[in-house]
Structure 1
Amino acid sequence: MRRLTTLFPSEFLEEHAEELGVVERDRKLQIPAFVWTFVFGFAAGESRTLAGFRRSYNSTADETISPSGFYQRLTPTLAKYLRDLVEHGLDEVAVPDTTAADIDRFRDVMIADGTVLRLHEFLSDQFEARHEEQAGAKLHLLHNATEQTIERIDTADEKAHDSTLFKTGSWLENRLVLFDLAYFKYRRFARIDENGGYFVSRLKQNANPVITAELREWRGRAIPLEGKQLRAVLDDLDRKYLDVEVEVEFKRGPYNGTRSLDTKRFRVVGVRNEDADDYHLYVTNLARKEFFPADLAQIYRCRWEVELLFRELKTQYNLDEFDTSDEHVVKILLYAALLSLLVSRDLLDLVTEQADEELVFPTERWAATFRSHAQLFLHKLGEYLGYSPPPLLERLIEDAQKIHKQRPVLQETLVTATQPRCES
């Protein structure tokens, strides 16, 4: 429990809640219990409803809170507060990776990726989807594979292009960025190069640059490639690797109301996929003398770490199942999911430290284990923090009673409907 309270100290949780106005003058709401309820309540899954979160809170804190008192605290301010906690946790918790390539020469290796979350259709105005009568949000992560942290989290509607969530600048100097096809844009690659950074991206299917030079000499009667368009020669090649320089054309950003055309030379590498009888094609500005084609393919596999994070969030935490039509509640649950993931990984680090060195803990197996023990964690944490929840019988009466006295329960309705009418 000390590990968890070091990650999110109660004093820090309370002070930041007061700064943002999450807590009003009445001190009935106990912020540490409130936060940990969302973290472990989301992880548990079975109680991942607003009523379930309230019941978890009432079984942890010193005083129970009514449904109306609980729901009125689910505000945009609370969403911002939880996002701040995620940002805080990202600085403290390592996200393990399995990077195998030699990438020590870079200051950092960054991985940009995003995933779509399906939302209630009533949120289609706030979270515009690609298809009508749907709502969807996009979660964008910038993962630092070197420092084993997530450096940036952004949310937008589904229609927002991934590329708009990635900003170039001087921060890219001596950093290597790995992109999937959603971020493919020659102008972005040029800006990274001009800021002293490096990139590796898959080459789009419709990209057909002109080959300006071959970067590897082939013996015998090799097909000459210089001056030809890339797609025109691929089908005729059977070599294991393709390694060429290409020239691409793109539009610069707007300046004085116009966008000028420009060209840039990059490197295109192909690694033959024997099963599909074609090439995995990559575009990069990394030099051949330092990274051979096989090295680039190995480096690009680092992207799988972010894919695993998204898969864990969706399969273990059901991240894309938000059955609510309130925009700020969606954000609250999204940040609760990310907090659950961070706490899970922090505890995994602790377990790994305490276990025998030869033991291995696969992340998805650990996630399932963490979820199955989430309510126990919450109970033990409440005891550690010194909370004394009301007696069980009192909590059962509080939670199980009919809330709206003017609204008949089903049995009352049936009895009334089946009673014989009195003769006038």
Structure 2
Amino acid sequence: MNANIFINKLKSILSEKKLNRLGKQVAFTKRERNITALHMVVSLVAALGDKKMIYLSEILRVYNQLTGQSIKYKPFHNQLVKPELAELMREVTNKVFNCWINDALKYTKKDLFKFDNILIQDGSSIMLHRSLKDVFPGRFSNTCPAAIELHATLNLTQGCFEKAGITPDSYSEREELPTFKELKGQLLLADRGYYSGSYIHELDKAGGFYVLRAKGLKAVRVHNAFKQNGQELTGSHSPKLCELLPELPKNDLIDMHVSIKNKLTRVVGYWSKKEKQYTFLVTNLSIDESTATEIGKLYRLRWQVELLFKECKSYNNLRGFQTSSATLQEALVYVSLIVTTLKRFLTGCIEKIFKTEMSTMTVAKTTGVWWISILTAIIRKHRKGLLNAVNGAFDFLRKNAARAHPKRDRKTGVFQYGVEPNF
């Protein structure tokens, strides 16, 4: 891999011909005037990826800087609030998810080889302007009357979004999960909001694997329960879990089989010092395949999606803007996802070219000397300038955004759980 491969992938999405054609297809533009689909998409990406944006007028200033124009605020805002802009950004986002990807990680443990992919599902709430409460009602009507929920599926080996969707915050998270067909052969990791007894049994029948945090298990019957040393805790009867809880040790993992919807299901329990209660994980991985300790380690991989959301919010402007336009807010969320994917794709390219372990978080926030120059070269169609900007970014980042403690990360970070950089 070299810089030219990255540039070709970059231009396959941020192409003047393709973006302007897509702009016409979704009716964002009818004729190519001063504000084209290419200008709008690239300027939004440039603005939201460089620093924290507070006002929409800041996006206009970036637009004028990149294009060399002097567009006034009102005509620019008229383009921003077009409903078709949200459709344009949604289409671009889907293309980005399919194109700007690297196999950033590889499995190093044999028990992971049987999974086609490890997919991590989660959602993140974004508080909006109160005027949007009828379009995007929040779950907490008093404190947060308007909010959206970003539902995301993270592909662990690619290190970025597999898919994403936006709904009102009050909608059910479980409805946004990948389909059973999509999850065949995959391992799904998800928090308790996605758990239901019916769902896990249907997923098992479809040929998918899962490790989910469970809720509402106190009334289920426990058929057997063992400590890590093999000592059985249930005896000859099958108590309810609530009856067994007082007897469970708080310094050991518990491996159980319980009845959920009349089907024997494996549950791993461990004491949470932070929450001062037991956390229970349901899984269809057998004891022969994965010990209770390994199930716990697999579930800890779910934290990678939390880091992805943090990156989006802290450094890529995934936030509620002060706008009463629902479609503009939706469009800006998609722009943030594009920005995050682009930065992670660039990070993966640097790792492969220079065989250097990179920090995605450091790359995301270290944009001052390279980000705008790349996007300016794209929008002004400077081929040599783009090559120079990309090479400059690669050289700067490999020196300034490498992982600070790769050896430590193998003991305390994500690499301890059976994945490694793929180079």
TM-score, shorter chain, exceeding 0.5: yes
Q: Which runs of 4+ in 1 moved over 6 A?
A: 215-221, 274-277
Tell me, yes or no, if the aligned pair for 2:101 and 2:158 is still in contact at 8 Å. Answer: yes
Partner of 1:2 in structure 2? 7
Give distance in 2, aligned partners of 1:155 and 1:145: 21
Which of residues 155, 163, 168 is equivalent to 1:152?
163
Partner of 2:359 in structure 1? 362
Partner of 1:416 in structure 2? none
* Distance 1:43-1:26 versus aligned 2 partners, 3 A rule: closer
1:201-220 matches, within 5 Å, as 201-204=212-215, 207-214=218-225
Cα displacement (A) at 1:124? 0.6
Mean alpha-carbon deviation: is it higher for 279-288 or for 289-298? 279-288
Give distance in 2, aligned partners of 1:153 and 1:8: 20
Tell me, yes or no, if the aligned pair for 2:228 and 2:252 is still in contact at 8 Å. Answer: no
Which of residues 191, 200, 204 is equivalent to 1:180?
191
Give distance in 2, aligned partners of 1:220 and 1:294: 16
Query: Secondary structure of 1:129's partner?
Result: strand
Deviations 1:69-128 (A, max 9, x none): 212222111111111111101012237468665311022222110010000011111110
* Distance 1:204-1:65 versus aligned 2 partners, 3 A rule: same
* Distance 1:57-1:125 versus aligned 2 partners, 3 A rule: same
* Distance 1:24-1:295 versus aligned 2 partners, 3 A rule: same
Give distance in 2, aligned partners of 1:219 and 1:34: 62
Cα displacement (A) at 1:54? 1.9
Cα displacement (A) at 1:7? 4.2
Which of residues 38, 56, 64 is equivalent to 2:62?
56
Cα displacement (A) at 1:159? 0.8
Give distance in 1, aligned partners of 2:263 and 2:230: 29
Partner of 1:377 in structure 2? 374
Query: Secondary structure of 1:73's partner?
Result: helix
* Distance 1:47-1:302 versus aligned 2 partners, 3 A rule: closer
Deviations 1:367-387 (A, max 9, x none): 11026643343334444448x
Partner of 1:85 in structure 2? 92
1:66-215 matches, within 5 Å, as 66-74=72-80, 75-94=82-101, 96=104, 102-133=111-142, 134-166=145-177, 168-204=179-215, 207-214=218-225
1:324-339 matches, within 5 Å, as 324-339=323-338
Cα displacement (A) at 1:218? 6.2
Give distance in 2, aligned partners of 1:274 and 1:126: 40
* Distance 1:274-1:132 versus aligned 2 partners, 3 A rule: closer
Cα displacement (A) at 1:343? 1.6
Tell me, yes or no, if the aligned pair for 1:130 and 1:158 is still in contact at 8 Å. Answer: yes
Give distance in 1, aligned partners of 2:236 and 2:293: 21
Give distance in 1, aligned partners of 2:233 and 2:173: 40
Partner of 1:265 in structure 2? 264
**Structure 1: runs of 5 or more not aligned:** 250-262, 387-424
Give distance in 2, aligned partners of 1:225 and 1:217: 19
Mean alpha-carbon deviation: is it higher for 177-186 or for 67-76? 67-76
Tell me, yes or no, if the aligned pair for 1:199 and 1:286 is still in contact at 8 Å. Answer: yes
Count of residue correspondences = 371
Larger radius of gyration: 1
Give distance in 2, aligned partners of 1:170 and 1:354: 35
| Percent of paired sites with the same residue | 23
* Distance 1:221-1:270 versus aligned 2 partners, 3 A rule: closer
Give distance in 2, aligned partners of 1:114 and 1:383: 37
Give distance in 1, aligned partners of 2:154 and 2:28: 29
Query: Secondary structure of 1:347's partner?
Result: helix
* Distance 1:366-1:354 versus aligned 2 partners, 3 A rule: same
* Distance 1:383-1:220 versus aligned 2 partners, 3 A rule: closer
Tell me, yes or no, if the aligned pair for 1:61 and 1:382 is still in contact at 8 Å. Answer: yes
* Distance 1:270-1:380 versus aligned 2 partners, 3 A rule: same
Normalised by the length of structure 1, the TM-score is 0.79
Which of residues 19, 36, 47 is equivalent to 2:25?
19
Cα displacement (A) at 1:223? 5.1
Tell me, yes or no, if the aligned pair for 1:344 and 1:367 is still in contact at 8 Å. Answer: yes
- Coordinate RMSD, CA, aligned: 2.8
**Structure 2: runs of 5 or more not aligned:** 1-5, 384-423
Tell me, yes or no, if the aligned pair for 1:243 and 1:293 is still in contact at 8 Å. Answer: yes
Tell me, yes or no, if the aligned pair for 1:214 and 1:226 is still in contact at 8 Å. Answer: no
Give distance in 2, aligned partners of 1:352 and 1:12: 29
Say whether residues 1:242 and 2:240 are aligned partners: no
Mean alpha-carbon deviation: is it higher for 209-218 or for 168-177? 209-218
Tell me, yes or no, if the aligned pair for 2:48 and 2:317 is still in contact at 8 Å. Answer: no
Cα displacement (A) at 1:22? 1.6
